[in-house]
Amino acid sequence: MRATVMHGAGDVRIETVPDAGLIEPTDALVTITRACICGSDLWPYRTMPQDEAGNRMGHEFIGRVEAVGADVTTVKPGDLVVAPFAYSDGTCVFCHEGLHTSCLHGGFWGRNGVDGGQGEAARIPLADGTLVALPVGEDDALMPSLLTLSDVMGTGHHAAVSAGVEPGKTAAVIGDGAVGLCAVIAARRLGAERIILLGRHPDRIALAREFGATDVVSERGEEAVERVRELTGGLGAHSVLECVGMEESLLTALGIARPGGAVGRVGLPQGQSIPAAMMTFYYNVTVGGGVAPARAYIEELLPDVLEGRIEPGRVFDMTVDLDGVPDGYRAMNDRESIKVMVNP
Amino acid sequence: MRATVMHGAGDVRIETVPDAGLIEPTDALVTITRACICGSDLWPYRTMPQDEAGNRMGHEFIGRVEAVGADVTTVKPGDLVVAPFAYSDGTCVFCHEGLHTSCLHGGFWGRNGVDGGQGEAARIPLADGTLVALPVGEDDALMPSLLTLSDVMGTGHHAAVSAGVEPGKTAAVIGDGAVGLCAVIAARRLGAERIILLGRHPDRIALAREFGATDVVSERGEEAVERVRELTGGLGAHSVLECVGMEESLLTALGIARPGGAVGRVGLPQGQSIPAAMMTFYYNVTVGGGVAPARAYIEELLPDVLEGRIEPGRVFDMTVDLDGVPDGYRAMNDRESIKVMVNP
């Protein structure tokens, strides 16, 4: 079968790889019908040392079940399913606590012999715990929004949950990428009265406003902090959704949080530490969040997508086939595209 | 009147200072009947550059009201009162939210012309918001425990609250100083099933066991992390109460937290940043806490002290008069004493 392999910075290839197939009795085999490129895929796209073996890519996908192992009971051939960006057994202590990314038996796509999502097919370990069947056909108009449940919408939601967004409160979202835009959707969905987006790209800002952003701050650093403080009567935002992961964006997040407030960080951290230890201490600002347990949120978010109450699929503004994936990486890296969908 | 003034590292003097007196109509004047020395007082005791003007010291005290300003309504002359380590108006948005340390009009003792607690008397700004009247006489046997409500017991409680201690869960307390010991009391009070103390001093460990610690880990660094992981089935502690504030102790705290768990930090941070950004991200460990809103907790903790359900006053193992304060600093700094009470 054909799949995406990254060999180094800027070097993404579509190659023939071993066909996906069942190995364990808990596996499912799916044909991938929709996948996408993640902002986090851009980090290796910018920095990966050259490697002839390469890494299989992609961790967000929808597929059609072709076959299941003997122990699989919750999905069957023909089902359309969405996979979160980590597989998990659904039965361990952490899965029961809703933290599927810490599953004692789970793992991540594209590593240790597990297929990636940017390809024609994938073996799904722990299929019962991992997959969620979708009650729609594979060409349904909702596909883009359903696809976001695999990662980006769940990640935006995790930022909002971790930052303690509540009805009537003020949320600030740092970053106007696809995660930031989904974080705006999530903040509105959880009832934030005011949603301040910190971003600089006019097209993304326009979409954020449609998603529910009430204010936009395009300054950076200290100026951004001052601007948010002006907008919040000098107090800061109750909830800050940090969707970038750079040291500067985290420092901004801590600077605009209200005393007693919370930062929910979902941007993959590029720094080694969380800055401003004394400031967060003095103001009792909580820093939470992390890698989103997307699987935990699918059931909660799915009805809102199916009934059209949220439209996170609007973050996709470019679609490619499998051969177009390398150009999709380039387009996202050049900020020509917010997020690229792949129709293998 | 006489009061404690620090002039530099190791240089604590009892001096004659201007008499405390009413200035604002919201002030009270109290004669201090009990005070104490805080672990945080030891930081300047070790590092303060020499300064002939010096700093007034002490922020934990009980006193007898001698006079009140025209606007004071909740305390009256003759009342015995406890003061938290910050004064606050009790009416601003942050006081209403229970974050009195961020009071819009509040402040800290010993700064900006406000008296310190280690002296004969003090002017109390914002007396209605700051003071809590005690229903006992000034020589009551409960004085030591009541005095801890001004800071150390409230701070231990804040660690437990910020770390999300819940019935049936595992809490780990880092530090066997007075705050760590009070954190053990607080963790037990909130129902933790297992309380692991990380400490190294036999006398303090013995007291911690009486307060409710079920396990003790005396290793440090990576060995401590491994030991706690062994004790928790490899998973880590749900709640970690960080009562030291050093970079190493914070790193240990993050290392022993269970995925999805929380660190409540109340040790005054000595580092510039919170380490292990990626580890906390990957495991979704929340870092909360900060300077404790002790005022917010007095009403909650007071009945437990009055009815003898908690005995935080047992952390005091040395008592001095005002002239003995410099020796009290020395004894705490040399770890001869856990915490020193002052009877001015």
The one-character DSSP state at B151 is: T
**Is B168 near chain A, with CB under 8 Å?**
no
Q: Which residues of B touch A291 (CB under 8 A)?
A: 281-282, 284
Farthest CA pair distance, chain A: 61
**Which residues are CB-contacts of B239 (< 8 A; sequence separation ≥ 6)?**
B160, B163, B164, B165, B166, B169, B170, B171, B172, B187, B192, B261, B262, B264
Q: How far is B244 from chain A (nearest CA, A)?
A: 13
| Cβ contacts of A244 on chain B, cutoff 8 Å | none
Q: What is the pLDDT of residues A236-245, one digit of tens each?
A: 999 999 999 9
Smallest CA–CA distance from A246 into chain B, residue: B277
Instruction: Establish if B93 touches chain A: CB-CB under 8 angstroms.
Output: yes
Beta carbons of A102 and B271 less than 8 Å apart: no
A233 interfacial to chain B (CB closer than 8 Å): no
Measure CB to CB from residue B281 to each of A276, A278, A291 and give the nearest one: A291
Could you tell me which chain B residue has the CA closest to the CA of A277? B273
The beta-carbon neighbor of A275 closest among B162, B250, B273 is B273
Average pLDDT, chain A: 97
Residue A224 has phi, psi (to 5 degrees) of -65, -40
- Using the beta-carbon criterion (under 8 Å), do A273 and B277 form an inter-chain contact? yes
Q: Which among A155, A186, A159, A171 is positioned nearest to A239, based on CA atoms?
A: A171
What does the pLDDT look like over A22-44, one tens digit per residue?
999 999 999 999 999 999 999 99
Contacts (Cβ under 8 Å, ≥6 apart) of A334: none
Task: Name the percent of chain A lying above pLDDT 70.
Answer: 100
State whether A269 and B283 contact (CB < 8 Å): no
- Contact (CB<8Å) A287/B274: yes
Listed in sequence order, the residues at least 6 apart from A323 whose beta carbon sits closer than 8 Å to its beta carbon are: A14
CATH class of the region A2-151+293-342? alpha beta
Q: Tell me the pLDDT band of A271, cut-offs 50, 70 and 90.
A: confident
The verdict on B92 touching A (C-beta cutoff 8 Å) is: no
| pLDDT per position as a tens digit, A100-126 | 999 999 999 999 999 999 999 999 999
Question: Above pLDDT 90, what percent of chain A?
Answer: 97
**CB spacing of A102 vs B259 below 8 angstroms:** yes
Q: How near does any CA of chain A get to the CA of B277, in Å? A: 5
Chain B residues with CB inside 8 Å of A108's CB? none
B276 CB within 8 Å of a chain A CB: yes
Q: Across the interface, which of B259, B287, B293 has its CB nearest the CB of A99?
A: B259
> Alpha helix (H) ranges present in chain B?
42-47, 93-96, 127-130, 143-147, 152-162, 178-189, 202-211, 221-231, 247-256, 277-282, 294-306, 325-333
Residue in A273, A281, A288 closest to B275 by CB = A273
Identify the pLDDT of residue A277. Answer: 87
**Four-residue CA torsion sign, B266, B272, B273, B276:** negative
Interface residue A97 vs chain B (CB under 8 A): yes
For chain A, positions 17-76, list CB contacts with chain B under 8 A: none
Residue ranges covered by each domain of chain A: 2-151+293-342, 153-289
Q: Which two tokens stand for residue B115?
A: 């008296």
Q: What is the pLDDT of residue A79?
A: 98
Give contacts of B101 with chain A, Cβ < 8 Å. 282, 284
CATH topology of domain B153-289: Rossmann fold (3.40.50)
Average pLDDT (A332-341) is: 97
Q: Give the residue from chain A lying closest to B278, CA to CA.
A: A269
> What is the pLDDT tens value at each position of chain B, 344 positions in all?
999 999 999 999 999 999 999 999 999 999 999 999 999 999 999 999 999 999 999 999 999 999 999 999 999 999 999 999 999 999 999 999 999 999 999 999 999 999 999 999 999 999 999 999 999 999 999 999 999 999 999 999 999 999 999 999 999 999 999 999 999 999 999 999 999 999 999 999 999 999 999 999 999 999 999 999 999 999 999 999 999 999 999 999 999 999 999 999 999 998 889 988 889 999 999 999 999 999 999 999 999 999 999 999 999 999 999 999 999 999 999 999 999 999 99
Put simply, the answer to whether B281 touches A290 (Cβ < 8 Å) is yes
Paired tokens of B242: 């960080």
Work out the minimum CA distance from A66 to partner chain B, whole angstroms.
Answer: 32
Q: Does B246 touch chain A (CB under 8 A)?
A: no
Quote the tokens at residue B215: 């396990």
Cβ of B97 within 8 Å of Cβ of A278? The answer is no
* Residue B123, phi-psi category: left (phi > 0), alpha (psi -120 to 50), beta (remainder): beta
pLDDT for position B277:
87
